[in-house]
Amino acid sequence: MADHRMSIFTPVSDHRLNKQQKDVIFEREFYPLMHALYNFAFHLVYDEEAANDLVQETFLKAYRFIESYQEGTNAKAWLFKILKNAFINDYRKKSRQPSRVDFDDISGYHDTEESGPTEYVDLRQEVFSGLMGDEVTRALNELPVDFRTVILLCDIEDFSYEEIAKIIDIPIGTVRSRLHRARNILKEKLRNYAANEGYQEKR
């Protein structure tokens, strides 16, 4: 796994890019992704200023390490990985709180991460007709960050499991199980909102 982290900033060749080549990559491939990067950053930190800082840091790093980007390949995955690493460095290390705490906070999800999807949270379809977009946003916001990250990458940004695995340095099996659990938690939250708001919910 350490390899992923190393490889992101390892030059792809000895070939040095000149100013014009760098400018072209930024114009054509990187700048169009700024809104998507900001959206990802915002949903990680829920703070405009912190999201701004993360996006800025991402672009400055992208410039510094541009030799390790292979032109015309997956710019989006590359930049998202830089942003995600920046987020971990800036936030996780500060708190010294291992992210595992997030997992333990959620009762009923004690199976190990590698175990395959087994349980299934039921939800009645009628729940959706009564839900507003902001309730889904709220449920997402309340997810622990590791779960939120996989939902953002998969459902909001449409990355493949393989891309997600590379972006967050976890095996594909873990992407799968984390997504599964994230969706179960989301469904539980939505079911609770619906119940609280008086929609008929029978288990």
Partner 1 sequence: MEQSLPKHDCSKFVEQVFLVLDGEMSEEETNLFIQDIERCSHCLQHYNIEKELKAFLANRVERKCCSETLRVSIMQQISDLSDQESL
186 phi, psi to nearest 5 deg:
-60, -45
Candidates 68-76, 85-93, 105-113, 114-122 — which segment interacts with partner 1 by CB under 8 A? Answer: 114-122
State the number of binding residues for partner 1 (CB under 8 A). Answer: 50
**CB-nearer residue toward partner 1: 8 or 165:** 165
72 phi, psi to nearest 5 deg:
80, -5
Q: How far is the CB of 47 from partner 1 (least distance, A)?
A: 11
Binding of residue 136 to partner 1 (CB under 8 A)? yes
Q: Among positive and negative, which fits the CA dihedral 154, 99, 109, 43?
A: negative
**CB-nearer residue toward partner 1: 38 or 91:** 38
Token reading at 11: 């030059």
| Binder of partner 1 out of 125, 196, 198, 203 (CB under 8 A) | 125
Report how far residue 93's alpha carbon sits from residue 2's, in angstroms, rounded to the nearest whole number.
17
Binding of residue 200 to partner 1 (CB under 8 A)? no
Report how far residue 76's alpha carbon sits from residue 7's, in angstroms, rounded to the nearest whole number.
16
Report how far residue 126's alpha carbon sits from residue 183's, in angstroms, rounded to the nearest whole number.
17
Binding of residue 115 to partner 1 (CB under 8 A)? no
Please state, in angstroms and as integers, the Cα–Cα distance from residue 118 to each residue in 100, 181, 187, 191, following that order. 21, 10, 15, 20
Interface residues toward partner 1, by CB under 8 A: 18-19, 22-23, 26, 31, 34-35, 37-39, 42-43, 51-52, 55-56, 59-60, 63, 116-118, 120, 122-125, 128, 131-134, 136-137, 140, 151, 154-156, 158, 160-161, 176, 179-180, 183, 186-187, 190
